[in-house]
């Protein structure tokens, strides 16, 4: 069944939460954060022809085309190049406008980790059955804690064994609500992974966000082809309102399903998350590069070609990238933006 599914990989993100390694042309998805392969490469591999998928469509901006081509290596793919960032609805509209109406599109971020690939494939098989019945499918991650950094999806009526009607989408909740949802069950995290028939999404967009789809459709028609890449036309694409696919379609459409999945998912949204997923030594230190640790526990050190020495430090991140050195407690990982903003500000 999966041989009918064409992966659509969203590569537009900047990933400033993993500054200083993630910045500018070298966004988070292109970094080898959990092993030898980048998150982008892992995304390609888990939806490759070998796993029964069609050739992927890569959505990215011009600054990332070189990194995408470099990391694809010998993999075949189609690049759809966004002339400027217009959020996920317009990006997905480009892919929808480019393919035949009966194509099943599996839309995925390029910067997530999925540790349990068989579980991922099983969830896609369930989602594909629903998508062929013209459900727009979103995959919900079974919560492992009361996270306040994700949106949640509430299950409605069951759709056989394959999933549930989406009752409603819930914005990033306060902790008390997150705890209540975790206790109640029937809620999952919105991971931004979608599966649908292209024609079904086109119809939904023409109803819910016509201006976005039409701008994308025209920018594809007027686009410029350069080998494996189609550069969407900038004048038309600039007309697309900037909106997320969640707001523009998912929360408005009447026939949206959720397929819950427990598949070792992480958005790797902070250095703390990187530490959690990384291989660690007996003292819970996760180290890449040349690091000397004395009487130090539970640290994340990415030495970036330099020589990092820690004495008596616990639970901090030391991230070295070029001439930048970031030091912070892992629990403060969300606050890295303060440093990224100050350091990356145009002079």
Give the one residue of 160, 279, 305, 346 binding a copy of itself; rule: CB under 8 A. Answer: 305
Least Cβ distance, residue 200 to a copy of itself (angstroms): 45
With binding defined as CB under 8 A, does residue 18 bind a copy of itself?
A: no
Least Cβ distance, residue 298 to a copy of itself (angstroms): 14
User: Considering beta carbons, is residue 224 or 331 the nearer one to a copy of itself?
Assistant: 331
With binding defined as CB under 8 A, does residue 332 bind a copy of itself?
A: yes
Rounded Cα gap, residues 282 and 239, in angstroms: 54
Rounded Cα gap, residues 27 and 30, in angstroms: 6
With binding defined as CB under 8 A, does residue 325 bind a copy of itself?
A: yes
Q: Which two tokens stand for residue 230?
A: 């189609």
Kindly write out the interface string for residues 284-303 of this chain, putting x where it contacts a copy of itself by CB under 8 A and - elsewhere.
Answer: --------x-xx-------x
Least Cβ distance, residue 280 to a copy of itself (angstroms): 18
Helices (H), the chain: 39-46, 65-72, 87-98, 117-131, 175-184, 198-208, 210-221, 234-237, 245, 271-277, 336-344
User: Considering beta carbons, is residue 168 or 337 the nearer one to a copy of itself?
Assistant: 337
Among 189, 331, 330, CA closest to 264: 189
Rounded Cα gap, residues 246 and 300, in angstroms: 34
Give the one residue of 76, 270, 306, 346 binding a copy of itself; rule: CB under 8 A. Answer: 306
Interacting stretch for a copy of itself, rule CB under 8 A, among 22-30, 103-111, 224-232, 323-331?
A: 323-331
**Strand partners for 74:** none
Q: Are 91 and 98 in contact, with CB atoms under 8 Å apart?
A: no
Please provide the size of the chain in residues.
347
User: Residues interacting with a copy of itself, by CB under 8 A?
Assistant: 20, 292, 294-295, 303, 305-313, 316, 318, 320, 323-329, 332, 335-336, 338-339, 342-343
């Amino acid at each position: 069944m999966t041989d009918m599914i064409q992966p659509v990989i969203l590569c537009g993100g900047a990933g400033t939460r993993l500054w200083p390694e993630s910045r500018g042309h070298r966004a988070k998805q292109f970094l080898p954060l959990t092993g030898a392969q980048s998150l982008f490469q892992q995304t390609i591999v888990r939806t490759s022809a070998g796993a029964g998928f069609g050739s992927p469509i890569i959505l990215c901006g011009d600054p990332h085309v070189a990194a995408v081509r470099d990391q694809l290596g010998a993999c075949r793919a189609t690049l759809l190049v966004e002339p400027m960032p217009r959020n996920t609805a317009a990006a997905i509209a480009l892919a929808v406008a480019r393919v035949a109406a009966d194509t099943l599109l599996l839309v995925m971020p390029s910067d997530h980790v999925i540790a349990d690939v068989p579980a991922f494939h099983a969830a896609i098989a369930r989602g594909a059955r629903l998508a062929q019945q013209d459900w727009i499918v979103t995959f919900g991650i079974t919560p492992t804690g009361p996270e306040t950094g994700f949106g949640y999806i509430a299950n409605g009526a069951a759709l056989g064994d394959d999933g549930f009607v989406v009752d409603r989408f819930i914005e990033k909740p306060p902790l008390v609500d997150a705890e209540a949802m975790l206790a109640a069950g029937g809620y999952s995290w919105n991971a931004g992974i979608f599966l649908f028939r292209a024609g079904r999404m086109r119809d939904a967009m023409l109803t819910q966000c016509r201006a976005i789809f039409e701008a994308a459709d025209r920018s594809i028609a007027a686009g410029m082809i350069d080998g494996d890449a189609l550069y969407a036309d900038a004048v038309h694409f600039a007309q697309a309102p900037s909106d997320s696919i969640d707001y523009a379609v998912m929360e408005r459409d009447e026939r949206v399903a959720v397929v819950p999945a427990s598949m070792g998912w992480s958005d790797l949204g902070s250095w703390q998350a990187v530490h959690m997923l990384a291989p660690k030594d007996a003292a819970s230190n996760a180290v890449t590069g040349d690091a000397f640790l004395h009487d130090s526990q539970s640290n994340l050190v990415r030495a970036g070609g330099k020589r990092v020495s820690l004495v008596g430090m616990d639970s901090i991140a030391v991230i070295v990238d070029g001439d930048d050195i970031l030091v912070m407690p892992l629990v403060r990982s969300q606050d890295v933006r303060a440093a990224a903003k100050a350091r990356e500000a145009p002079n």
